[in-house]
Structure 1
Amino acid sequence: MTRPFASTAARDAFAAFPQPARDTLMSLRAMIYEIGKTLPVGRIEESTKWGQPSYATPDTNLATPIRLGLSKAGDPAIFTHCQTTVMNDFRALAPPDMAFDGNRAVHLPTDSALNLDELAPLIRAALTYRL
């Protein structure tokens, strides 16, 4: 079952993503909520920042925001705040073939098999950044 969108802006942001990027990003959205339920971070809030779906923990303020969107090349991507250590710390654990955009994003292929579970440590680290 797909979780209802928190706002029409979030719904419209996902609707604007082309296929198959939308499916990948929707799977990541579900992962963020699933992982969030296992952590002591409180409620996950979905909003939009810069036209992209964004996820934060407003009740505890423990997360650094996670955004979902498209890279400049049009690939689906997961973004974290570039002034945190989240992406660089994750890079040390990530598979060698994972494509990074500096310290702000992981680009996700749509033309090959993607193991989204490999992104779970990144999501966990972002949601608990200030813990």
Structure 2
Amino acid sequence: MNIIDQRLLDYAPASKSALARVRALVHDVASQTPKCGQVVEALKWNQISFLTQKPKSGTTIRIDQNGSRSISLYVHCTTNLVDQVRELYGDTFDLVGTREIVLPNHLEPVEAELRHVIALALTYHQNKRAKL
């Protein structure tokens, strides 16, 4: 059992299920996204994290229970990703500050939007370089 699977055991069943679904989505989106680097899993700040390598195409995505009954997806606060999500999906997701995207308890109705958000994060640096 790897460190991520061990960390998932710490969560209540509902959170564990939702986090596992987001984890699967990250890997699925990465496999279908051109120019996305290889995704590596890690624990950062005791949160399940996904980093792109070879190439470093994206910013780190972290997922965790957010203190309430729901889960959140976190991105680096110096990116403009939350602003992009606010512009694209402000009516779909609750957004907190510059790094947190609160996910609904049921992911199925927002899966297409969540996949797009994940793709934006996984290609953030690649897209930023393309605009220069």
Q: Does 1:79 align with 2:74?
A: yes
2:13 is paired with a residue of what secondary structure?
A: coil
Q: Distance in 2 between matches of 1:111 and 1:9?
A: 26
* CA–CA distance in structure 1, aligned partners of residues 106 and 28 of structure 2: 25
Q: Which runs of 5+ in 2 are unaligned?
A: 127-132
Shift of 1:36: 0.4
RMSD of aligned Cα (Å): 1.9
Match of 1:25 among 12, 16, 19: 19
Determine which of 46, 49, 55 is the counterpart of 2:44: 49
Once the two structures are overlaid, the 10-residue window that deviates more, 107-116 or 15-24, is 107-116
**Contact 1:90-1:121 within 8 A present in 2 as well:** no
User: What TM-score does the superposition give when structure 1 sets the normalisation length?
Assistant: 0.85
TM-score, normalised relative to structure 2: 0.84
**Identity of counterpart residues, as a percentage?**
23
Q: Give the match for residue 129 of structure 2.
A: none
In the alignment, which residue of structure 2 is the partner of 1:124?
119
* SS of structure 2 residue aligned to 1:44: strand
Whole-angstrom distance in 1 between the partners of 2:66 and 2:100: 8
Aligned residues: 125
Shift in alpha-carbon separation, 1:74–1:125, aligned structure 2, 3 A: same
Larger % of helix: which?
2
Q: Which amino acid aligns with 1:57?
A: T
Comparing 67-76 with 50-59, greater Cα deviation is found at 67-76
Q: Which amino acid aligns with 1:128?
A: T
Structure 1 position 66 matched with structure 2 position 51: no
Return structure 1 stretches of 4+ with deviation > 3 angstroms: 111-114
**Match of residue 4 from structure 1:** none
